[in-house]
Structure formats: C-alpha cells, structure tokens
Structure 1
Amino acid sequence: MTMIERPSVPREHGAWGMLLVPFGTALGVAGAFDLKTALLLASTLFFYVARASWLKQQWSWTALLLAASLAAALPLFVVWKLWWLVAFSGVAAVLAAQPTRRHLLMQLTATVGLVLTAPAAWYTATGRLDATAFWLWLWNGLYFVGGLLYVRMRLAPVTARCGLRWLVLGFFAGLSLFVLALVMANVFSYHLLLAFAPAVTRAAAGVGRLAWPLRIKVLGWSEVAFSVLFGVLLVAALR
C-alpha cells in the first residue's frame, strides 16, 4: 500500500507567532470571536500551510489546501460582503509567491505581511477598517520587526553580533521614544509602554550578553512566550 504523503507544515515558531498573535490581539480588542472570524482564521491557516506545500512542490496538497482556504473565505464575501478582504488576500498572495530567503529585507517584508492578520481580523470582527485597524497593524509590526532583529543578532556569528547590536539598540531606543511621545501626547495610555517593556528589556539584556553560548531551542520558545505576553498586554492597552 502506498503511503499518502503528509502536507508540509511550517516549522518556524516565529512565523506562526507573527501570523496568530496579531490575529488574536485584534479579536481581543474587538471582544469578539464568531463565525466570521472563525472562517477567516480557517482560511488563513489553510493558505499558510498551502504555501509550505507549494514550496515543497506538493502540488496535490497545495491545490487541496488552497481550495479549502477559498471555501472558508467565500461566505465572508457572499454573505457578509467583507470586500476589503480581497485586498488583504491579494497582498498575501503576492508575498506568498516570493521565495523564502534569509536576506534581511525579504524577512522584514514577510513580517509586515504576516501581521496584516491584525487589521484583517479587526475588519472581519467589526466591519470597520479604521484607525484601530492601522494601530493594530503598526504595533504588531513594530514588535515583530524588533523580534526579528533581535533573533538575527543572537543567531549571527559572534564576530558579527557586535555590529548588529547597534542596529538592535537603535531600533528599540527609537521605538521606546515613539511610544513614549504618543503616551505623553495622551494618544494612548501608559499601558502601551508596558506592552513593549518586556521586549525592550530582553533586547537590552541580550546585547549585554552577546558572548554567551546560544541555545537555539531556548531562544525559539522564549520568543513564543514573549510574543504571547506582548499580545495580552497590547489588548489590555488598546481596549
């Protein structure tokens, strides 16, 4: 009997976090999880796994998963008339067609694309594409861009880490000043500072111990934990 090949599933913890944490923050701020958002989540997951199958040239699984993604998304257009999701889908398709590369610019582009799940989920839950959708995208994007820079610094050869540390320090210093300025202007409450505090503290501590041995599994799972913590704190800050 011929064994049926299983579909390829993305193994990167960070990428799953970039996909799901922004989605969760949007639903948390909206205070809603219903059939619409469940269908969007299903469509998003099917599409994400389909890309992994496509990269592995598993054409049958790719076609099946894309069909499942479309089937889950159709009611969002036909029943609820959420037509702006077409734009989100188009951006996702363009980014998914790009080859997977380790170049920093490509990774930054992928990060910005993955966190579009935040405004997409907000729009689906509330029917609005407004300032909150933008802020959800921006804050999630800035957090995960910072996480990407930090991980690249930690994974780099020891001789290259010293140069990357200034990029990491500069990014988080600029991020902290930007958030502080908005808090001081009463655009957001001080809770937004608390949402970014763990990531800023981690980055500062990481820069101070660049010569320490790297434990990749610990780094990966700590990123997951920090991402979930950020999501919870961001919801508390924006609700």
Structure 2
Amino acid sequence: MTSNSMTDIAPNIRTAQQVRIRALVVPREHGAWGLLLVPIFTGAVVGVASSHKLGPVVLFTLAALALFWLRTPVESLLGTTPMKAQTAQERRGVLMVSLGLAGLTTGCLAALLWSGQNSSLLLLGGIAALLFVVRTLLMKLGRRMRMTAQMVGALGLTSTAAAAYYVSAGHLDKPALVLWGANWVFAGNQIHFVQLRIHAARAATFAEKFARGRVFFLGQIALLPVLAAALHWRLMPRLVMLAFLPGLVRGFYWFFRGHQSLQVKTLGWSEMRQGILFGILLAAALILSLGCHLPSPDSN
C-alpha cells in the first residue's frame, strides 16, 4: 500500500472513530429529549413567573439533562446495550464523559439540597427512580409490554415539570401536579401517535387507519370528557384545555386525510413542533390562570 493510500485512509479511520465515540456517549432517543425538555420548560417558566427565582431552575435543568445523558455512557460501559465500548481507548473516553456528567449532576443537586433546601426533590427523585425500574422490568417482558413501558417511562420523565416548578416556586402544590399530569397526558398521546404512524405507514383509507389505530382514535375521544371532568372538579384551570387542542386536531386529522408516505425525520420534526407549541400554550395557560407574570429584564 502506497503512502498516499495510507494518508487517504487515516482521516476516514479517525472520522469513523469519532462517530462511534459520539454514539457511545450521546443519547440516541431524540424523542426522549423532547419528553424531557418540554416538561422542564413548562415547569421552569411557570415557576419563575410566580417567584422570579431563576438560579434554582438553572441548577435543576443542568442536573436533569446531565443525569438523563449519563445513562447512555454508563450503558455503553456496562455493555447492557448493543452499542458498547470495546477497546481500551473507547472505555477510557466513555468513562471520562460519565465522570464529568456524574460530577455535574452531583454538584448541581448538592447546591439545590444544601442546608435542607428543596427537600421534596428527594421525593420526586425517588418516584422517578421507581418508575424507571418498573419501566425496565416491563421492557424485559417482551414487545407486548413495550407501549406500557414507554408510558411508565414518560411518567418518570415528565415529573421534571413538577420538579422544575418546585425548585423555583418553593412549594409542591396543585400547579406542580397539573404540570406533571398535563405533560404526561400529552407525552402519552405523542408516543401512541408516533407508534401508530410507523405501524400504519401503508394505511390509506379511514377504515384501514382505524383498523390499526382504533385504540388511539378512541383514546383521543375519551380524553375530551376526561379533560371536561377535570375542569368540572377544578383539578386544572380552564385555559389548560386549550394546550391539548393542536395535538388532538393533529391526531384526528391523520385518520381522515389520504395516504401520505411516512418519512421518519419529517414526523420527528413535526412532533417536535407539536411539543414546543404544547409547552408554550400550557405555560401561558397556567401563568394567566395563576395571575403571575414573568420578571422584566431589569427586575431584581
């Protein structure tokens, strides 16, 4: 092999190694990022609007993101997923990332819990940890339990809405539970819709789509009286219902429109926009209902 050939191959090898290292340490579940970020956003905005305390929210957001990210390199080190660290160089790189993320998480949580502050974070963290254990056990039961496992996992991820609100507002009350519950319901709707789009990619008519998505369609219908009952019993402010309307319209519309080829990236971006819209509407609804306002740039 000539020196020119070796020169051409070397950059390709380095690029392949960089891509592999990135895959070992960066979470690949892009949808899960949305399930984490939207709840944090809604909880943080409503909490800051009610108390104007931004520092604790920043610390919590960093801790939550680092802890979520930490799972991927740890799994790569333990070899519990198909993508695992194999060489000494890979293990060293993955270990360094893991230690950095663990240090960031520990530092942020220590600052939040210093001198007995934000003690209810331990309760929320314990609940989330238990939910993820249940999710893992359900995943081991086979494909038939995968949807249930995803819903349980989403319940754990969306607890960050209540936590983000709590660290800023300083109390774990009704708005925190509304944020958690609303985010979980929306996340469940998204999970079901994405799975339906994938499994019914060839369906063209309403009958074909309904045959594959009967549970989702009826679930959307059932959500309407559930939301109405929540309003009747004053479990959530009236304006919160508006946050669900775009997602419900999106779900029903798919059944009645004609066939459209499935493009996973396009679907992902579309659902990301749905999540952002839901987060903005939910935060605005709660801020208006609670009568609070966001701090101005020159406020203390």
Shorter-normalised TM range: 0.7 to 0.9
Aligned to 1:126: 169
Q: Does 1:42 align with 2:62?
A: yes
CA distance in 2, matches of 1:69, 1:28: 21
Structure 1 residue ranges without an equivalent (≥5): none
Task: Report the alpha carbon displacement of residue 79 of structure 1 after superposing the two structures with TM.
Answer: 4.4
Task: Report the alpha carbon displacement of residue 176 of structure 1 after superposing the two structures with TM.
Answer: 1.5
Q: Which of 127, 150, 153 is the matching residue for 2:196?
A: 153
CA distance in 1, matches of 2:238, 2:276: 19
Contact kept in structure 2, 1:25 and 1:235, CA below 8 Å: yes
CA distance in 1, matches of 2:55, 2:119: 17
Q: CA separation of 1:100/1:155 partners in 2, compared to 1, >3 Å: closer, same or farther?
A: farther
Aligned to 2:8: none
Q: TM-score, normalised by structure 2?
A: 0.71
CA distance in 2, matches of 1:99, 1:133: 28
Contact kept in structure 1, 2:210 and 2:217, CA below 8 Å: no
CA distance in 1, matches of 2:274, 2:161: 18
CA distance in 2, matches of 1:180, 1:174: 10
Q: Does 1:227 align with 2:266?
A: no
Contact kept in structure 2, 1:119 and 1:133, CA below 8 Å: yes
Please say which structure displays the higher CA radius of gyration: 2
Contact kept in structure 1, 2:132 and 2:156, CA below 8 Å: no
Mean alpha-carbon deviation: is it higher for 144-153 or for 49-58? 49-58
Q: CA separation of 1:34/1:121 partners in 2, compared to 1, >3 Å: closer, same or farther?
A: same
Contact kept in structure 2, 1:115 and 1:140, CA below 8 Å: yes
Aligned to 1:70: 106
After superposition, where does 1:1-239 map in structure 2 within 5 Å? 5-6=21-22, 8-30=25-47, 31=49, 32=52, 34-57=54-77, 58-79=94-115, 81-95=117-131, 98=136, 101=139, 103-157=146-200, 158=202, 162-183=210-231, 188-209=236-257, 211-239=259-287
Aligned partner letter, 2:56: K
Q: CA separation of 1:105/1:9 partners in 2, compared to 1, >3 Å: closer, same or farther?
A: same
Contact kept in structure 1, 2:38 and 2:276, CA below 8 Å: yes
Contact kept in structure 2, 1:13 and 1:221, CA below 8 Å: no
CA distance in 1, matches of 2:35, 2:209: 24
CA distance in 2, matches of 1:117, 1:51: 16
CA distance in 2, matches of 1:53, 1:186: 44
CA distance in 2, matches of 1:76, 1:188: 28
Structure 2 residue ranges without an equivalent (≥5): 1-13, 78-93, 288-300
Paired residue total: 238
CA distance in 2, matches of 1:95, 1:236: 29
RMSD: 2.6
Aligned partner letter, 1:29: V
1:22-56 deviation line (CA, Å, top 9, x unaligned): 11111222214511111101111110110111222
Q: TM-score, normalised by structure 1?
A: 0.88
CA distance in 1, matches of 2:188, 2:46: 21
Percent identity reads 28
Q: CA separation of 1:185/1:78 partners in 2, compared to 1, >3 Å: closer, same or farther?
A: closer
Contact kept in structure 2, 1:161 and 1:210, CA below 8 Å: no
Aligned partner letter, 2:42: T
CA distance in 2, matches of 1:59, 1:92: 25
1:184-230 deviation line (CA, Å, top 9, x unaligned): 56665542232111000000012234743111111000100000100
Contact kept in structure 1, 2:64 and 2:105, CA below 8 Å: yes
